[in-house]
Amino acid sequence: MLPFELIIEILTRLPLTTLLRFRSVCKSWNSLITDPSFALNHLHATSTRRLIFTRPADPYFTDYSLSSAFASTSAAATRLFPSAVPGSHFHHSIVGSCNGLLCLFTVSRNLLLWNPSTGKFRNLPSLEDQRFSVVTSGFGYDHVTHSYKVVVVLYIKNHEFDSRVHTLGSDSWRRIQHFPLSSTACCPGRFVSGMLNWLDKNRFIVSLDLALESYRRISLPDFGGNNTDEFELTLEVFKNSLCVLSCCSHFTDVWIMKDYGIAESWTKLLCVPDLIYYPEFLGFDFNVPRATRAICISDEDDEILLELWLDMEQKFVVYNFSDDSFRPAGIEKFGGRVASEVCENY
């Protein structure tokens, strides 16, 4: 008789339809297959990642598979239309993605969850309080109650921000404590290990524990005494850890928080060198391109996809940090501001 751990390995590799059938084999298989953590492991074991881009004017998403985005030759993008979604001829912005689900924010201030693999979507109950504008939002999964939650932050008045949480399956939004933000400029929340994270200007990270529904502040890495106002900081999630990218005029650093919540565990993951040393990327008049954003790290863990601007033109390049080289990425330029999201695909 095979030990149970090997049975788990076998079941993890089976397609979903077979797994659902095998719930009837025996009681122990039934409990295993219906266990939420097994289900998550199975999804992650059988999924591939996709890169989704959105532009403010487009009523569609531009979608690349991660491997083709990192390939050197120009990849074929597919256009995703959240069709059958009400108001889909207008632009939707992405709040976040989690386990292959995308949370979208529509032009008419509605939120919905969409599964690009199956096409199914679900409207969330509407946010009342039309007088308050939405400053930021976030989407994540609560491991404790095994439910998806969407968080929305509203601007009440000077320095006062209210937060509302919706748990998927319930029918309303709940108020939770005030969002401790110091300004209105805020990017969407990044979800990592049960916490949603936002950058508060260049000072702190605001972290929301989805299970406890309470906020706290986490300090940023020690950039070594440099004036942090000169940096452009962005939050990303790589390899299940929170990362901070600091871009200034001549370099881009990627810092990773190895142990979540512990500010001392910020480590510099890599430093993308100045492109001035790479003549093939220099522009007219030897202008040096500036990296503005890191989009994601490859599946093999040795390359990072960056967005660059040079001579007012946008380029996507891949930096390989094991052999310290740059090459063009397989993504066509968008010619404008673009938001990106890494999404799992089943």
d(CA 242, CA 236): 6
Tokens at 39, concatenated = 């289900």
User: Cβ distance 153 to 200 under 8 Å?
Assistant: no
CA distances from 341 to 43, 48, 123, 289, 296 (A): 18, 14, 20, 23, 9
Q: State in angstroms the smallest separation of the CB of 21 from another protein.
A: 6
Report the residue from 16, 25, 211, 271 that binds another protein according to the rule CB under 8 A: 25
The smaller minimum CB distance to another protein, of residues 1 and 57, is found at: 1
Least separation in angstroms between residue 48's CB and another protein is 17
Are the C-beta atoms of 309 and 326 separated by less than 8 Å?
no
Q: Both tokens of residue 183?
A: 């300004």
Exactly one of 14, 40, 43, 168 binds another protein (CB under 8 A); that residue is 14
The residue (of 22 and 132) whose beta carbon lies closer to another protein is 22
Residue 28 touches another protein, criterion: CB under 8 A: yes
Stretch of residues binding another protein (CB under 8 A), selected from 20-28, 265-273, 284-292, 324-332: 20-28
45 binds another protein (CB under 8 A): no
Give alpha helix (H) positions in 126-216. none
CB of 100 to another protein, least distance (A): 22
Cβ atoms of 29 and 22 within 8 Å: the answer is yes
Q: Is 312 in the site for another protein (CB under 8 A)?
A: no
Helix (H, G, I), strand (E, B) or coil at 251: coil
Minimum CB distance to another protein smaller for 25 or for 76: 25
Are 64 and 70 in contact, with CB atoms under 8 Å apart? no
- 22 touches another protein (CB under 8 A): yes
CA 13, CA 4: separation in Å to the nearest integer? 15
Q: Are the CB atoms for 214 and 177 separated by under 8 Å?
A: yes
| Span interacting with another protein, options 24-32, 110-118, 248-256, 296-304, rule CB under 8 A | 24-32
d(CA 262, CA 282): 39
Q: Which is nearer to another protein, 21 or 239 (CB)?
A: 21
Task: Assess 346 for contact with another protein (CB under 8 A).
Answer: no
The single residue among 4, 9, 184, 324 that binds another protein, judged by CB under 8 A, is: 9
Of 13-21, 200-208, 248-256, 273-281, the window that binds another protein (rule: CB under 8 A) is 13-21
Q: Which residues would be at the binding site for another protein (CB under 8 A)?
A: 1-3, 6-7, 9-10, 13-15, 18, 21-22, 24-28
